Structure 1
């Protein structure tokens, strides 16, 4: 196969959750790659779990649209292991795709000195844990979410005395709700080939706490990143210590202005190329460099 022809993994065809969104994101990625002479073949990730031989025909496989993997996490982990064992030329690496799919990676980063919100890790959310978290943090509201999630899936905001409508069945995390998400927003820094490409600020719709566009989130391009946000993002990438083609680092300031890591998205982040002044040129160039290094 042509050395500039790559595979892009897409959602499970049986999952209709994101059918209105991911084709548009794919179109932007394909267009950016075409500018630098890279052609693409979209293929569902679920078609390559138990037999990934077809992926070995490509010089590079990009798992950029495996949206919904969290809905079948066991199969996702099995796929990542199969890709790693077979040596599929995956970027980001299959081992990173596996570890980044469980938000316990945030605990590991915190142990390496990365600032995150105070977090209670639990195998089952209880009313006692919620009360303890309120007492420990002094927060007026808490965020409860599964450690394996995506797009705010099963993520809830609770007040003291409330019990989540549907608490996560298994491993979960409890964090104080940061009101700065409404006043300052969440800042996403996009890195391609280790280089900062662009920065997008995301704020929830009035009355909501979720910043995802499907929940009404409002996105704005920032001409330059806040200094503290960039410093934390670079510190995070250094702590991850892996060869990354792409990364989206999501950070929020607390009430004292200290920047905290919310997510290091290394699997299938939306790159917000519709807000990128260069329309994905930085990403496309990083892909070309990766392909050239593998020739």
Structure 2
């Protein structure tokens, strides 16, 4: 068996106790048939010194949950790993910039369709009021540019006072009603090839599709019309050699697909909904080794 490392949350952070271990077990079960033995290692143990990762032929940063709440150390860690030449996929350079959602603006400049977005350095009530008029909508989404799992993400209605606004760099977008009716669709790629497609829908009255908010996931037999084209355009615009990528999208008011996120750090592969994807991921990992 070839030993590979999977980076996991800070053991001092109790937020994810009892959660990440199940994800690790699913990854280990998927990789074992390919002769790969998974060893967990907290990413926070390697922020300033990468020597503990040097002996692994491959390091996967797949469960680095909580990095968004410790972003300064995360950026430092990515620089440490890059300088030390850690054999990490996706590479430290990519998972560094992918942690700040301002990359969506750069992809938009390359022609990738994203929701209309206002980039703000701290969101005020005046910013929100102006955004309602600018977007011609009665509902907004406000979220930090560095976030994960809908952390500090708000849905705000016209006339509602802004409370608990995210501090620091943030983004404001019009709410997409299609999230409630059609959900969000994710295309999973391993080694540059499409593996599987999963649709994610919120429970009634909710706008967040994450499982911790009751989100319901279902594998689709193939990408909906037009979805694959947007995903491939996104990957081409990113222009990196990626081991894995999850491209999340939703329909805009005109029915066209809009990129919500290109998750290149610690995406849920949704192996519970699409278990065959585990074999495809293992094949992609094996090919890199």
Asked if structure 2 preserves the Cα contact closer than 8 Å seen for 1:49 and 1:82, the reply is: yes
Asked if structure 1 preserves the Cα contact closer than 8 Å seen for 2:249 and 2:261, the reply is: yes
CA distance in 2, matches of 1:236, 1:39: 32
Aligned residue among 76, 79, 94 for 2:77: 79
CA distance in 1, matches of 2:178, 2:277: 29
CA distance in 1, matches of 2:18, 2:114: 32
Instruction: Trace 1:222-261 onto structure 2 (pairs within 5 A).
Output: 222-261=220-259
Gaps of 5+ in 1: none
In the superposition, the TM-score normalised over structure 2's length comes to 0.98
Query: Which is further off, 155-164 or 169-178?
Result: 155-164
User: Which residue matches 1:149?
Assistant: 147
User: Which residue matches 1:47?
Assistant: 45
CA distance in 1, matches of 2:159, 2:169: 21
User: Which residue matches 1:70?
Assistant: 68
In the superposition, the TM-score normalised over structure 1's length comes to 0.96
CA distance in 1, matches of 2:255, 2:190: 27
User: Which residue matches 2:211?
Assistant: 213
Question: What is the root-mean-square deviation of aligned Cα atoms in Å?
Answer: 1.0
Instruction: Trace 1:133-212 onto structure 2 (pairs within 5 A).
Output: 133-212=131-210
Query: Which is further off, 125-134 or 233-242?
Result: 125-134
Shift of 1:255: 2.1
Asked if structure 2 preserves the Cα contact closer than 8 Å seen for 1:156 and 1:164, the reply is: no
Gaps of 5+ in 2: none
CA distance in 2, matches of 1:279, 1:267: 17
CA distance in 1, matches of 2:225, 2:91: 29
CA distance in 1, matches of 2:122, 2:34: 48
SS at 1:17's partner residue? helix
CA distance in 2, matches of 1:55, 1:272: 27
1:67-119 per-residue CA deviation (whole Å, 9 max, x = no partner) reads 11001000000000000001001100100010000000111111111100000
SS at 1:96's partner residue? helix
After superposing on structure 2, the runs of 4+ consecutive aligned residues of structure 1 that deviate more than 4 Å are none
